[in-house]
Structure 1
C-alpha cells in the first residue's frame, strides 16, 4: 500500500508540474509581454466596468486597483457594445498611452442579439489595434449565465489568435448567484464587484510578475523578495 501511495504522490506532483509549465508557457506567449511600453493600465468596458448600480469606488476597476496597488484608468461606458468600444478606442485608450488594457465587452452584443461573427470581429480589431501600440491586452471572457458555449469559444479563439491574455468566464458564479448580482440579473452588486476584482487580480499577478514594466509605473511594481 505504501508503494501505491508514493506512486499517487509522484503522479500528483507530475501533473502539477505539467500544469505549471503549461501556464508559464502560455504567459510567455502573450504579445508585448516584454515590450515595456506605455504609461497606463486601462479598463475598456461597458456598464459592468463603469459600475452601474454601485458607487464608482465600488466598481471592479477601482477595487482591482486597490488589490494590485496599481493605478487603473476606468474607461467603462454603460450600454457599450463591442462596436461602440471600438469607435472610442483611439480617444479613450490609445491616446492615453496604455501599457496594459483589460477589455470587458460583449455582454451588450448578446443582449441586443448582435451576430456573434460581428462581436468576434470587433473584439479582434480592438485587441490588435491596442497591440499595435505595443500594449498588453487582457481579455475578460464574458459569462452572464445566459451565454452558450459558442461565446466561451469565441473569446478563446480571439485570445489564441491574437496572443492576448484570457481570463475565461470571468463572471461565472456572479450573475447566476443572487448573493453577487443586482435584481436586474445582468449587473454585479458590491459583493459581486469585489469577487470579480479578486478573480481578475489573482489571474493578473502571474502575468504582471513576468511582464516588463514601463518606467512610468516602476514605482508600483511589487518588490521581489
Structure 2
C-alpha cells in the first residue's frame, strides 16, 4: 500500500502541467537549511491555506501532509492580511517550534489595495522573525491576477521574489497559476480553490519542496516520526 501511494504521488508530480521548480530558489542558498532546529512544519496563510469552502482534509496543508508523509500544522486564517499574520506570528508559529514554515500570504493585501511597501515590510518581518528561530521559510508565489475583479496584473509577484532573494527564503513560484483563473479548479466566488484546486496546489508545493527536503537537515522529532511510519 505504501509503495502504491508513493507511485501515485510521484506520478502526479511529473504529470503536473506547470513546472514550479524552474524558478524556485536553489536549496544551497536557503537560510537555516542545515540547522535541523524546531519540531514541525507549519503552513501560515489566509483563507486558501485555511481551506475556505472545502473540508479541512481537503485544504492543501492536509493534502500535502498525506503526500509527504510528514505532519503539517495548518495555521491559515480566513481574511488575514500580512499585517494580521504578523500580529499572530508569535502565538501561532514561533511558540510551536517550527522547522519549516510555508508562508502563503498577501492575497487580501492585493484585494484590499494595501500599499505594496507596507505588504513588503510586513512580509520581510514575518520571514526574518521566523528565521531568527533557526527555522526555514518557504514563500509561495501566489499569482494574484484576477481580471474578473478588475485586477489584471499581479503587482505583488516581484515583491515576493525580492523578499525571498534578500532574506534567503526558499521560493516556490506560480503555485496558483491556472487554478484561481480556471473555473475547473476554483469556487464560484472566483478567489478560492475548490477541492480539486487545493489538491493541485498541494502537488505543486510538494514538487517545489522536493529539492529543499532532499538537502535539508531534518530535526530529530521528524526523523523519529518518519522512522516509526516506515
C-alpha distance in 2, partners of 1:162/1:131?
9
* CA displacement, residues 19-38 of structure 1 (integer Å, 9 cap, x when unaligned): xxx98982101000000000
Deviation at 1:152, TM superposition (A): 1.1
Q: Secondary structure at the match of 1:219?
A: helix
C-alpha distance in 2, partners of 1:87/1:163?
22
2:25·2:172 contact (CA, 8 Å) conserved in 1? no
1:33·1:212 contact (CA, 8 Å) conserved in 2? yes
Q: Are 1:76 and 2:76 matched, yes or no?
A: yes
1:63 alignment partner in structure 2 = 63
Which one of 147, 167, 174 corresponds to residue 162 of structure 1? Answer: 167
Q: Are 1:101 and 2:129 matched, yes or no?
A: no
Deviation at 1:150, TM superposition (A): 3.1
1:207 alignment partner in structure 2 = 212
Deviation at 1:221, TM superposition (A): 4.8
Which of the pair has the greater relative contact order for Cα pairs under 8 Å at 6+ separation? 2
2:24·2:173 contact (CA, 8 Å) conserved in 1? no
1:136·1:164 contact (CA, 8 Å) conserved in 2? yes
1:179 alignment partner in structure 2 = 184
Q: Kindly name which structure, 1 or 2, has the bigger radius of gyration based on alpha carbons.
A: 1
Deviation at 1:83, TM superposition (A): 0.2
**Structure 2: 5+ residue stretches without partners:** 1-21, 147-151
**Structure 1: 5+ residue stretches without partners:** 1-21
* CA displacement, residues 36-59 of structure 1 (integer Å, 9 cap, x when unaligned): 000010001000010000000000
1:3 alignment partner in structure 2 = none
Q: Secondary structure at the match of 1:150?
A: coil
Per the normalisation by structure 1, the TM-score is: 0.86
Per the normalisation by structure 2, the TM-score is: 0.84
2:4 alignment partner in structure 1 = none
RMSD (Å), alpha carbons: 1.7
